[in-house]
Structure 1
Amino acid sequence: MTEQCNTTNQNLNITMEDIQLTTTPPSKLQTIDRRKNFVNRNDLVRLIVQALYTLDYKESADLLEKESGIDYLSKDILQLKNCILKGDWNQSLNIIDQTLNNSNCKNINAVKYYILEEKYMEQLCDRNAEKALITLREEITPLVVSIPTQNNYTSTVTNNSTITVHNLQQLASYLVCTNIEDLKNLSKWKSIEGGSRNELLEQIQKLISPSLIIPENKLEQLLLTAVENQKRDSMSDEDIDENDMDESEDGVVLLSKKFSINEETSIRKIPNKILLTLEDHGDEVWICKFSNNGQLLATSSIDHCINIYSVEEVLSIEKTSPKFKLLSSGNVVSLCFSPDDKDLLAATCDGNVHIWNIVSGEQRACLKNFSNIVAAFWNESGNQFITISSEKSSQISVWEKDSVTITKSFKIDTRIQDASLLKDNLIIVATHERQLLCYNLEEKKLVEKMSEDYLITSLCSSKTGRFVLVSFCSEDEDEPALIHLWDLREKKIISTFEGLWSLKYVMRPIFMGRDLVSCGSEDCKIYIWNKSTGELIETLTGHSGVVNSVDYNVKFGLIASASDDTTVKIWRD
């Protein structure tokens, strides 16, 4: 303690001149910090002002604009909004020409189109068909240019984003309406009293840069997105309940400890060094799979052997030989541990399904004579398993584990490429027609349908069933393959992963915890991407053959990789 005090006194023994020479002015420090760690000041103030106006705190909004010297809306944009709400169409078009031209907006004609469409509808509503016809002929018709599709009331913009003769004919057809109600019903137009001008403002603000017009409730949207992202980042995938958002009667809670981020745990170390190589197979190794509790590793090869290793024994490097060697009837195409890790389900390309007890190493059952089986997996509780066989049509069967009898079975008139469990009674299948189909097993019916642009080769669903990785073959030998990450709740692709090669063989991507995605490749490498951004962050080399399969052990922080070079490699950070 004494030594520490003396050091402090020595540090304080400096002159005022020293202080003046070495101290950075506070204003300079703030500028540096703001550039690195804060958002753009103008954007932030405008978002806050918009939010205050939305919450009806008009005096506070006015005060912030005055104190900051930053206008929420420019004078031109404010004048444009007022002109539209008043129905001053000529002045609105003049402002559009001046303001949007200066901002290099690419959607000027589109904005004009929607303004003139409203003008035309109001003229018809006023029973002024002559003026409406002049508007249609002289102002709308010349706008034969590309226009982004909008879900508006007239549906006048076609799929190729241009105004066509058909679109103009549709507008012209409103001229024959005998009364206002017929006009509203035919066009789905809301009328001025119904808020058509406000709807027009919402339409055109989607086409104008946010630097000029901020979309409605933008700050609220950003905050909700941040809460959702924080929830995902602060919890592992298996812990996330897709409906789990702190909510109250007043809305989503923003200040919650529930989804706080711990920087130390949010950054996952990547296993990128070879710890050891397992060489117990005599031929190409197609699959490697860790048990759910992380204690076991199963590997399968075209030598018809399934090796079961104790992970702890392998890590000790004192015993790297398999705990069990299980013999299959053919090459294994699907390998799956039961939820309690007591049983192993394996489907082989010769049409058989094997079930082994992992505790004893004994085979419990062997189901034979399937036709081209493509997948086999357990349900969530482990009391049933599902098999899927496919040729021109496909057969989906649900089996009782104990009795090994079929409880449900139905056919699908399409060829299934792969399948995965989402949650109990719900599976997702990939078809030869490039579709993703979700089926309810209990009701034996299709509940969701999505389409892809490429031939799908494999699927991997997250533990919650909300996300699914969809992989494809390379369509050109000079182009790498793709993997898409689908958010099934939002029904859209949220990330794309590039870089791997998959020309001849099926590559099976996996989730590495909450923030990474990994996959083997035909170029003998393992690729690891950021799950949210799709950025390639690591490429592992070490195999001398195609890497057919990878799996991640969250308990021990390991990657296992199976290759055509007959080895299985264990990777650690």
Structure 2
Amino acid sequence: MKPESESRHHNGTHAYSTDDKNRHSSSSMSMHVDGVDSETTPSGFSRLELVRLMVQSLQSLGYQKSAKELEAESGFQLESPAVTRFRDSVLQGDWNAVEQLIGDLNLDTTHELSVKFLIREQKFLELLERRDIKDALIVLRSELTPLNQNMDRVHSLTSYMMSSSPEDLRVRANWDGVNGSSRQNLLSSLQKFISPSVMVPENRLETMLKQAVDHQIKNCFYHDNRNTSNSLYSDHVCDKTGIPTVTRQVLERHTNEVWYISFSHDGKYLASASADSRIIIWNLETFQPMHTLQGHSNKVSCCAWSPNDTQLLTAGYDRTVKLWDIQTATLTSTFPHHSDVVTCLGWLPDGERFVSGSEKNLFLMATGGNLLRQWPFPVRDLAISADGQTLVAMGGTIIRMISLVDFTEVSKLEETDGITAISLSKDGQFLLVNTTVKPAQLPMHREIHLWNLPEGRIVRKYSGYKQGLFVIRSCFGGWDERFVISGSEDSKVYIWHRENGNLIQTLDGHDSSVTMVAWNPTNPGMFASASDDNTVRIWGTPEDVEAEPARILNGDSGSE
């Protein structure tokens, strides 16, 4: 091993195996270009760090000669010779050299054992892979075990001794072997314990560029995923033409208030439930009614598509839940278990069970008719996570998370005001909550709350819409659920930027309260709104409307 003075100064350039502060303060490191101190750029960044990232980037792009020229001209080296040897030794599997070079990495003493464990683990697995059982056992007993690190992992490594073949080993260990990327992965793992000033993290410049672009996209008001350009020449900006802000169709077949709408999972159909006791299934290619389902004796409050879109659950004021075959538009089952108005429905992913809630009870039912489980508390709205593991049920001011595995209450949240509706994000991590107020607390300007469920706290509030005593439902929408959208008692639709909470669009069109909105799950350029004016509006982008002028469907004949 070379002495410290030699490893820090090689071929006239500066290497980095000691403290950055001392390095920067050293007179030998300072240089001036046109009278400007070269230790920092005009933007305040370290010139040394910037050059090192440029050298690394040039190397990764294959411009080895240019990288060496930059090192020579700047006097700054990407890394010390010792670090280069360490990196090369890991990739070549020269484990003796790797361990000898650990001392040159300036590791925190608390990390040295962890680093040695990772290195020896790789050494052990490689010996096993080439069926050198004797030497592998020596490494396990004499090198890994004495470290007294991660003994559970040591026990797992011991079990790999029983592998019947190299293929069996790779499967058991979830490891792709010497000929795979295991050594590169090891280097990435070791990097976490090594100061970035000693060993620059892989692809650091490109990583920062991606972080900058991702940040701009995250905060882009009107981001449209069809804009795939990630040009570095200019900041990322989308205009609002990519989000649905224009009425594409007005659907007028209901004869009373429309209270609930739901897109099929494939995005091809829309179900609308009304106080006229009917459910209409709309074909979204023709915007014509495909079926009108009649069977409820009173107002229909909610509906839910089965996971495969072949069936539809409906429920309402007649205190029943009904199951319909969508292909034939026939009623296949009626579930009369509730003794009060049924307010909400939700399918489990297996398509054989569903949950229904009322002002008195929450029921878990089988489509065959069996009542599987019940909870004796009021539920106004509910949502089920995509994996079918968790039920979120709301009643009054309380939000309950219930495990659908062991049916226990996992956690409980509480709002100050009464809750009218909830909407769960696709990843099951966030919940939108619409709240109502007592008459004495009017005027009606309200906030929609965004809850982080794992953390159990409100992380964002969306204001500006109006909600008094009536049920108003909001939802997530757009590309990657970047928007929050809600109806309002002032007949408008409100759209907010989910991340920063800014109101970005207010849409006119309805003549009465907008009770619910739903975003098409497969077409981010479409959402629907339901209103007490007896209509459903389909909203599209300006491009959609230009291609297909809006029509108003009237009466039973479907005339325009």
| TM-score range normalised by the length of the shorter chain | 0.5 to 0.7
- Counterpart for residue 490 of structure 1: 455
The 5-angstrom pairing of residues 164-313 of structure 1 reads 250=191, 261=214, 265=225, 267=238, 269-313=242-286
2:339 is equivalent to residue 375 of structure 1 = no
Residues 313 and 479 (structure 1 numbering): CA distance in 2 closer, same or farther, change over 3 Å?
closer
How far residue 380 of structure 1 moved from its aligned partner, in angstroms, is: 2.2
In structure 1, give the amino acid aligned to 2:529. Answer: S
The 5-angstrom pairing of residues 411-560 of structure 1 reads 411-412=375-376, 414-422=377-385, 423-432=387-396, 434-475=397-438, 476-513=441-478, 514-556=481-523, 557-560=525-528
Q: In the aligned structure 1, how far is the partner of 2:510 from the partner of 2:330?
A: 32
Residues 365 and 426 (structure 1 numbering): CA distance in 2 closer, same or farther, change over 3 Å?
same
Residues 56 and 341 (structure 1 numbering): CA distance in 2 closer, same or farther, change over 3 Å?
farther
Query: Which of residues 309, 313, 318 is equivalent to 1:350?
Result: 318
SS of the equivalent of 1:416 reads coil
SS of the equivalent of 2:380 reads strand
Q: In the aligned structure 2, how far is the partner of 1:452 from the partner of 1:436?
A: 8
In structure 1, give the amino acid aligned to 2:362. Answer: I
Q: In the aligned structure 2, how far is the partner of 1:519 from the partner of 1:258?
A: 32
The 5-angstrom pairing of residues 124-203 of structure 1 reads none
CA contact (8 A) 2:303 2:312 kept: yes
Over residues 469-492 of structure 1, what are the superposed CA-to-partner deviations in whole Å (9 max), with x where a residue is unaligned? 011014522241111111212322
List alignment gaps of at least 5 residues for structure 1: 1-52, 73-246, 315-319
In structure 1, give the amino acid aligned to 2:408. Answer: K
- Counterpart for residue 388 of structure 1: 357
List alignment gaps of at least 5 residues for structure 2: 1-15, 31-36, 45-187, 193-200, 218-222, 228-237, 542-560
- Counterpart for residue 300 of structure 2: 332
- Counterpart for residue 156 of structure 2: none
Residues 248 and 565 (structure 1 numbering): CA distance in 2 closer, same or farther, change over 3 Å?
farther
SS of the equivalent of 2:22 reads helix
In structure 1, give the amino acid aligned to 2:364. Answer: V
TM score, norm. by length of structure 1: 0.53
My pick for the range that moved more, 356-365 or 423-432, is 423-432
Residues 559 and 503 (structure 1 numbering): CA distance in 2 closer, same or farther, change over 3 Å?
same
Residues 59 and 558 (structure 1 numbering): CA distance in 2 closer, same or farther, change over 3 Å?
same
Q: In the aligned structure 2, how far is the partner of 1:484 from the partner of 1:447?
A: 21
SS of the equivalent of 1:388 reads strand
Cα RMSD after superposing both structures: 3.1
Residues 324 and 493 (structure 1 numbering): CA distance in 2 closer, same or farther, change over 3 Å?
same
CA contact (8 A) 2:311 2:325 kept: yes
Q: In the aligned structure 2, how far is the partner of 1:369 from the partner of 1:488?
A: 31
In structure 2, give the amino acid aligned to 1:535. Answer: N
TM score, norm. by length of structure 2: 0.55
How far residue 522 of structure 1 moved from its aligned partner, in angstroms, is: 0.8
Q: In the aligned structure 1, how far is the partner of 2:350 from the partner of 2:446?
A: 35
Q: In the aligned structure 1, how far is the partner of 2:24 from the partner of 2:324?
A: 69
How far residue 336 of structure 1 moved from its aligned partner, in angstroms, is: 0.9
Q: In the aligned structure 2, how far is the partner of 1:437 from the partner of 1:500?
A: 26
Residues 69 and 479 (structure 1 numbering): CA distance in 2 closer, same or farther, change over 3 Å?
same
How far residue 349 of structure 1 moved from its aligned partner, in angstroms, is: 2.0
Residues 302 and 443 (structure 1 numbering): CA distance in 2 closer, same or farther, change over 3 Å?
same
Q: In the aligned structure 2, how far is the partner of 1:61 from the partner of 1:398?
A: 67
Residues 515 and 248 (structure 1 numbering): CA distance in 2 closer, same or farther, change over 3 Å?
farther
Corresponding pairs, count: 334
Aligned-residue identity in percent: 29
My pick for the range that moved more, 487-496 or 302-311, is 487-496
Residues 62 and 328 (structure 1 numbering): CA distance in 2 closer, same or farther, change over 3 Å?
farther
Q: In the aligned structure 2, how far is the partner of 1:56 from the partner of 1:380?
A: 56
Considering Cα pairs closer than 8 Å and 6+ residues apart, tell me whether 1 or 2 has the greater RCO.
2
- Counterpart for residue 146 of structure 1: none
Residues 446 and 325 (structure 1 numbering): CA distance in 2 closer, same or farther, change over 3 Å?
closer
In structure 2, give the amino acid aligned to 1:506. Answer: V
In structure 1, give the amino acid aligned to 2:343. Answer: V
SS of the equivalent of 1:499 reads strand
